[in-house]
Structure 1
Amino acid sequence: MKHLAPALAALLLSGPALAQSAWPDIQTALYGDAPLLAQSAHVTLDAPYRATDDARTVLGGHVVAPPGQKITSVTLVIDENPAPVAAEFQLTAPQAEFAFSLTTRLNGQTPLHLVALTDTGERHMAEAFLKTSGQGACAAPPGTDPIAALATLGEMELAFLPDLTAASKSVNTRLATLAGKVRALDVDISHPSHSGLAMDQITLLFTPMRVVDTIAITLDDRPYLTMTGSISLSENPRLRVSIPTGTTTAEVGLRDTDGTETSARTSLAAY
């Protein structure tokens, strides 16, 4: 699906398309004539009513596969962003249930779509509408010094969590992980996420695009999932994903669009 990103961006930036809903064209580009089960009870899209910070808004989803099926991929679409496919999760180990949250940037108010594919070929969809503060974060200048950001680019801090919403450094979280009650993985990433649309305030030249391309997660030495990112990820993005109960070790590999590769590993205290 990655090769569709430039075409989708060109489609949304073409002008007249912005006056109408972008979703029909996005749906055709991504899925062709394949049917989507709209407003499926198996998919929940987590988003605020209104974003308070367009440069860093947490979006997420929760998918429960129909009986006898498993989830193989989940795609988050921010319709009116220049790169509408914000993130795609390919589950190397298909799951009966999967949840995630991710910090994103928003170009303006927009419909959102979350599409989950099962191993039987069914596509279940949820949709929502998100209002914003009108800051237009996709082309906004970075919040940190681009030169200084290179010093820590690709560094990651990993943490096991008892659930997707737990505070990563709280006492309760620490006690839960010590007891082996692990259901989620927190991945805190240092990366400037240059969209390619922001102008350097001194040179007046556009800062070249450089974003997180892929995140590969391995659990207990077995591949779990790969996430493909985009310019819709926020600066210094933070990712959380649900993981199977009983997980004791996690390794995360990052690759960005410039080819830089980094990795990080964590394990429960007893391992």
Structure 2
Amino acid sequence: MRLALILALLSAPAYAEGVANPLQPSPLWEDLRSSIIDTEVEPPVDPAILMLEAPVRADNPALVPVRITQPPGAPAIRRLVLVVDGNPAPVAGEFTFGPALMPLDFEVRVRVDTYSDLRAIATLDDGRMVMAGRYVKASGGCSAPAGKNMDEVRAAMGQMRFRQAEEGGRAIGTLMIRHPNFSGLQRDQVTLLTIPAEFIQVLDVTQGDQPLFTMEAGISIAEDPVFRFAYAPGAGPVAVHAQDTDGRVWDQSF
């Protein structure tokens, strides 16, 4: 039931107002840019290459949907960094994408801790950088209480589900992984003690011997992370390898 609700939310038109929330001037980003993308030059915003959709005002700051897309014929992406400027750890994740995911159509949910720009910076195959983003009104996402009690969390941790559909001639994969992705800023609702940070740090998704995508993540990826992605299906099962900050490893094929 919970999975069905999450999948329904991901497929809902959560971005209807997306055109009304462009990136805003961000002193935080000015300070962060060189340390995150190793350049003082602002990457251009070019919707002919990269687009990002996110709600103007998030219904739940701990579960903010983000969709990153490219139009047909756009140049391939080598690497992408997803940043929430105002979060305590701004880099939500660093991603690489295999050829099967080009042109990119990728969704993930993040935590947003304060009204903030949310931006994706892509490095293209030719080395150029391009940026897309939205200004999202949300607060408290990184310290929001976890959705389940600790016993349920431990019992379900690492469980995975994968669903595949077809849309526009491409396969649409939806991967869900049970993990609390504790941010280190949340409190146990019983003991009121701070819960140490504990989150999925490495994710590797392949089909056969072909890479689909990888992620190196921080605390801003939402609880029970869900990834929705369009891809050209190949031969063999879809294999998922996940590792969290406590060294737990989970592997599953679908």
TM normalised by structure 1 equals 0.77
Residue 14 of structure 1 aligns with which residue?
none
Say whether residues 1:161 and 2:168 are aligned partners.
Answer: no
Say whether residues 1:194 and 2:182 are aligned partners.
Answer: yes
Residue 101 of structure 1 aligns with which residue?
107
Residue 173 of structure 2 aligns with which residue?
185
Number of residues paired by the alignment? 228
Q: Residues 117 and 94 of structure 1: is their aligned pair in 2 closer, same or farther, counting only changes over 3 Å?
A: farther
Say whether residues 1:225 and 2:232 are aligned partners.
Answer: no
Summarize deviations over 1:73-126 as a string: whole Å, max 9, x none: 112111111121112211254864112101112212111111111111100101
Residue identity in the other structure for 1:98: L
Residue 265 of structure 1 aligns with which residue?
253
The structural deviation recorded for 1:234 is 1.2
Taking the TM superposition and a 5 Å limit, the aligned residue runs for 1:115-194 are 115-132=121-138, 134=139, 136-163=140-167, 182-194=170-182
What is the alpha-carbon distance in structure 2 between the residues aligned to residue 95 and residue 152 of structure 1?
A: 29
What is the alpha-carbon distance in structure 2 between the residues aligned to residue 44 and residue 187 of structure 1?
A: 22
What is the alpha-carbon distance in structure 2 between the residues aligned to residue 112 and residue 222 of structure 1?
A: 30
Residue identity in the other structure for 1:188: M
Give the gaps of 5 or more residues in structure 2: 1-25
TM normalised by structure 2 equals 0.82
Question: Is the CA contact (8 Å cut-off) linking 2:53 and 2:133 kept in structure 1?
Answer: no
Summarize deviations over 1:160-209 as a string: whole Å, max 9, x none: 1224xxxxxxxxxxxx9xxxx54221111100111111122333321111
What is the alpha-carbon distance in structure 2 between the residues aligned to residue 65 and residue 25 of structure 1?
A: 34
SS of equivalent to 1:160: strand
Residue 8 of structure 2 aligns with which residue?
none
Residue 210 of structure 1 aligns with which residue?
198
Residue 52 of structure 2 aligns with which residue?
45
SS of equivalent to 2:131: strand
Q: Residues 209 and 119 of structure 1: is their aligned pair in 2 closer, same or farther, counting only changes over 3 Å?
A: same
Question: Is the CA contact (8 Å cut-off) linking 2:77 and 2:124 kept in structure 1?
Answer: yes
Percent identity (aligned): 29
Residue identity in the other structure for 2:34: T
Say whether residues 1:32 and 2:38 are aligned partners.
Answer: yes
Residue 244 of structure 2 aligns with which residue?
256
Question: Is the CA contact (8 Å cut-off) linking 1:71 and 1:95 kept in structure 2?
Answer: no
Give the gaps of 5 or more residues in structure 1: 1-19, 164-175, 267-271
What is the alpha-carbon distance in structure 2 between the residues aligned to residue 214 and residue 47 of structure 1?
A: 24
Question: Is the CA contact (8 Å cut-off) linking 1:72 and 1:95 kept in structure 2?
Answer: no
What is the alpha-carbon distance in structure 2 between the residues aligned to residue 144 and residue 115 of structure 1?
A: 33
Runs (4 or more) in structure 1 with deviation over 6 Å come to none
Say whether residues 1:238 and 2:226 are aligned partners.
Answer: yes
What is the alpha-carbon distance in structure 2 between the residues aligned to residue 214 and residue 39 of structure 1?
A: 28
Q: CA RMSD in A?
A: 2.2
